[in-house]
Structure 1
């Protein structure tokens, strides 16, 4: 006697096995959660997120907005997240620009430029990032004392940091100005990648994107003007006053050491990605552009670079996501990024599981958002049905 027909169905058996596996996994997670909660209660530790509104009682050594020991944990977490985003933005921008230069040197015809590019990549790519970070931090600490500061272009540098001329506006004003510029840039990217603009002429599409960037910059300027006190000067210059530096804007050694390390290390990988992208462009396409009478500059900017960028963008996405996660190494030199704020909060509050969950959620949000934006850009510039690779 045969059983029901649905039991003989391969699809039914697959669905049943998958559902049983997911149910078993959920039961395992639930059992682990209940066990951890019971153990915490036995040790007198409470779970939940009520601690987020309690004051921290410790200070952050770097934050884009003012912080005090009386601030709650949620504010410190927000500042740590902003520090990570700020450092990641600087690191990605610096690695992209320097990596483009190194990649062009490696792809050029000048033997000296190719040699220099090769030496740079072989050195900085094969040294661990944390080792490079310690090197730059040691170099920063080896600088002279404040009384013997090195002056250049209105700036001062010593063992306590880099002092640059600064605007006489509040830190909150600067944050709003930067946010306005980023919103304008985000709108421009959305216009260039949105499907609803596909039927618009390319020149009109670029014009709308340019207007979005200009609107962001104008908004940033408005915030700066509104945040300035008319009784004060616009710019303050750093000057030695006794044993300290007054005026200007101070960049801490922990900050610029980490920024330099991420930039130089990431540029070595970006340079190789750029070189591979240029090698993927077929020689026939450049010869066809030359046959049309285009100059060498127009061949590079309108044929070779766009095609190479399409080829290198998918690999750059993975590299950018990795560099964002590399900002967590700032804890080794005392930079108050998101990871260090989480670690310090765990030591002061004892809410280990909650803070680890917040840390995981924060980095998932950052990396998924970055990957989503870049993947959208990749889909927008992809040449469907065309072959962009060829022999170099």
Structure 2
């Protein structure tokens, strides 16, 4: 026995087995203790509640959700709401960040000053304070009868009404899913290592073919969801004391998206600025020596190299902004976190629902980080930038 213990590999294996066994024992002890405690208080654990009716309504849902729907459907709608808000927030924050970052590295002093003022103001005010401010401002807007009209849209204290498609919600959701799948497959066909040996024109043809097929299927899905004899587009208009027609974007939705966009855009702007600063001056000098214009030097040399420097830090910022969507509970937006919180109050299944909440955000953030890391590995240059 002593001889086996002196063997390094055996000793390491035994120590690891003891550590894993102790950890599993600790988890099992905690689970059994929690089970006995809950049973003593009359709280039963299990997953049967997922198929029971909730008995309460959601304030916002991308698909129909009523009080007679089960908990699993509400949890799914909450997850979709979080994904919806996160997608819009990340897209807008990226756009704002690019503009702020370019302003910060501009040769124009006024642009640099505006970029710096924006950065210092919005980065140093907590996100929750900005959410409260914009939501309070949205509630102070005029009533529907005095709604502000901007390019065919109507803005009031009940929300932002925009022209929309006269198509069923399931058809719109299905078409968006098809477009997202087509985009993902197209990127995979373009960047995957198994296809790098193919000729460039074959990879482009495969990627564009996949995208075209997704567009055709999405168009067919929209056509199926359109009612015969009705207009394709409906515009909002004042009828009586309320606004009818078009899409209504609730104040909770657009204030949260706007807050995430301007707050996250300040941080992304610094990431963009740092990415461009990381590109050496020698690259510009080499471009000038080759006779490239400033635009060609920017789009073909500086921008690709800056993107490679930005992606690792940008991944962390995206994950953080996705987690920031949980602030929706402060203004009543029915995101994943709020739905779980309400479900705990109504069902009493605390441990199960907290586990679902943790698992949901783990899957969402891990998928986002994995996708960004995959893109980073695909475009990374071999050498010191590719070291792990």
Q: 1:134 aligns with which of 132, 135, 154?
A: 132
**SS across alignment from 1:245:** strand
Instruction: Identify the residue that residue 110 of structure 1 maps to in structure 2.
Output: 108
- In the superposition, relative to structure 1, how do residues 200 and 293 fare at CA in structure 2: closer, same or farther (>3 Å)? farther
Instruction: Identify the residue that residue 275 of structure 2 maps to in structure 1.
Output: 277
Q: Deviations for 1:200-245, whole angstroms, at most 9, x for unmatched residues?
A: 3345433432332232222222211121112111111111112111
Distance 1:209 1:126 in 2: 42
Q: 1:67 aligns with which of 65, 68, 72?
A: 65
Deviates further, 184-193 or 153-162? 184-193
Note the 1:284-363 alignment, pairs <5 A: 284-363=282-361
- 1:363 Cα offset (Å): 0.5
**SS across alignment from 1:191:** helix
- In the superposition, relative to structure 1, how do residues 47 and 387 fare at CA in structure 2: closer, same or farther (>3 Å)? closer
Q: 1:100 aligns with which of 64, 79, 98?
A: 98
**SS across alignment from 2:107:** coil
Query: What is the RMSD of the two structures over their aligned residues, measured on CA atoms?
Result: 1.4
Instruction: Identify the residue that residue 26 of structure 1 maps to in structure 2.
Output: 24
- 1:313 Cα offset (Å): 0.4
TM-score by length of 2: 0.97
Q: 2:15 aligns with which of 14, 17, 28?
A: 17
Note the 1:28-177 alignment, pairs <5 A: 28-177=26-175
**SS across alignment from 1:105:** helix
- In the superposition, relative to structure 1, how do residues 156 and 287 fare at CA in structure 2: closer, same or farther (>3 Å)? same
Q: Deviations for 1:303-334, whole angstroms, at most 9, x for unmatched residues?
A: 00000000110111111111111100100000
Distance 1:46 1:211 in 2: 53
- 1:268 Cα offset (Å): 0.6
Q: 2:227 aligns with which of 226, 229, 237?
A: 229
Distance 1:313 1:206 in 2: 24
Instruction: Identify the residue that residue 380 of structure 2 maps to in structure 1.
Output: 382
| Pair 1:199-2:197 in alignment | yes
Following TM superposition, the consecutive aligned residue runs of length 4 or more in structure 1 with deviations greater than 4 angstroms are none
Distance 2:16 2:118 in 1: 50
**SS across alignment from 1:156:** strand
**SS across alignment from 2:149:** strand
**SS across alignment from 1:163:** strand
TM-score by length of 1: 0.96
Distance 2:378 2:372 in 1: 10
- In the superposition, relative to structure 1, how do residues 387 and 325 fare at CA in structure 2: closer, same or farther (>3 Å)? closer
Deviates further, 230-239 or 265-274? 230-239
- 1:246 Cα offset (Å): 1.0
Gaps of 5+ in 2: none
Distance 1:95 1:218 in 2: 30
Distance 1:73 1:79 in 2: 10
**SS across alignment from 1:183:** helix
Question: How many residue pairs get matched?
Answer: 386
